[in-house]
Structures are given as C-alpha cells and as structure tokens.
Amino acid sequence: MVLDHLKSWDVALGKTGLDRTEPESTWKLQEDTMVRLLNFSMPVRPVILHMRDGVDEHAGEVSANCLQILKANAAPTQKIHLHYFGGTVEQVVGWLDAFPNCYFGFSGRIMSFDKYQIAALQQVPLNRLLLETDAPYFRPAAAKASTPAFLGDIGEAVSQYRGMTLRALMQLTTGNGKNLYSLLAP
C-alpha cells in the first residue's frame, strides 16, 4: 500500500542487513553500515532486515549475526520486518524472544522450501506473518520478473501450509502489514 502523503522515511528504516552472496571483502562494511543505520531506528518505525547467505539456504549464521547486532543496537520493542525469510523454527523462536514485534515476510521462495523452512513458516504466529514478492527479483520459473501480480500465488502456497483459505490469509496478512507499518485504511 502506498500513501501519497507519506515519504519512505516516515514509514520504515530499510532495507539493511547482511548479504553473504556479496564478496567477503564487503562483509565488515555491511555490518558497520547496518550498525550506523540502526542509530536511526526507533520502535515505532520498522526496520526492514535483509539476511541472505550464498551457501546456507537457511541463513543460520547470517541470522545469528543480524540478531546479535540488533540486540546491541535496537530496543527490544523495535518493529522488525524480516524480509524474504527462509529460516528455521529455531530462528523464528530466537527472533520473537528477542524482538516480540518481529514480522516474517515470505516470498515465492516458499515454492522450494525444505521441511525445516516449512516448519518455520508453520511456527510463525499468524499475527506476525507477511507476504511479499520481492519484485522484480526471485521470479517464478516461467516469469521474466517477479511482480506484485504473483502475490496470490505466494498466498495460495502459504495458505495451504497454514491450513487456511486464501481469502482469510490475504485479509490477515494485509492487516498485519497495516499494523507493522502503521498504515491506516484508505
């Protein structure tokens, strides 16, 4: 949802995080930049966090590093959007224990989730579940690019894993997004 009168900095601090698909020579800079950006964080505005690992599809080490950085540089009440989440149940529990206002964004990547990632998706509390396409990246196999038009496909897959109707899931995740980003209905 885009509201014309809001600027991006009015809504969230994002996107920051650690991306281990980039050359190792940039990793320290990524961490330092993340810490500097977190100086601007405040609990009422979400931090959009990117965690990606080129080797570990669960991003376990990257998630642990990000969690430690956030614990040291953000209030426990900080709102967090874990963008493109593909971790494990242990990561879900760890993030929620440290940051109860943490939300988990699931993209089309769920089509290739393993049993650990599916278990994590099923563990996320319903009021902390988000859908995202990560457009234009991580497109479905036959598509030239990912677009918001694929949100229904992502929702369908998530609704099956969660044992709920697509309609209920879409209403729920729309509400979650509004809550996370403090957006009012138009």
Mean pLDDT calculated for residue range 56-82: 95
pLDDT per position as a tens digit, 14-32: 789 999 999 999 999 999 9
CA-to-CA distance for 134 and 13, rounded, in angstroms? 17
- Following CA atoms 17, 39, 72, 62 in sequence, which dihedral angle do they give, to the nearest 10 degrees? 0
DSSP label of 42: B
Alpha helices of 55-98 — where are they, by DSSP H? 60-73, 89-98
Stronger pLDDT, 158 or 3, i.e. the higher one: 158
CA-to-CA distance for 60 and 2, rounded, in angstroms? 32
Return the number of other C-beta atoms located less than 10 Å from residue 167's C-beta.
10
Kindly provide the residue ranges of all beta strands, DSSP E only, lying in 20-108, ordered along the sequence.
47-52, 80-83, 102-106
pLDDT at 174: 95
What is the overall mean pLDDT for the chain? 89
Q: What is the pTM of this model?
A: 0.90
Class of domain 8-180: alpha beta
Q: Where do the domains of the chain lie?
A: 8-180
Res 185 pLDDT > 60: no
pLDDT at 186: 52
Q: Which residue has the tokens 């669960």?
A: 58
CA-to-CA distance for 129 and 177, rounded, in angstroms? 9
The SS3 of residue 131 is strand
Res 9 pLDDT > 70: no
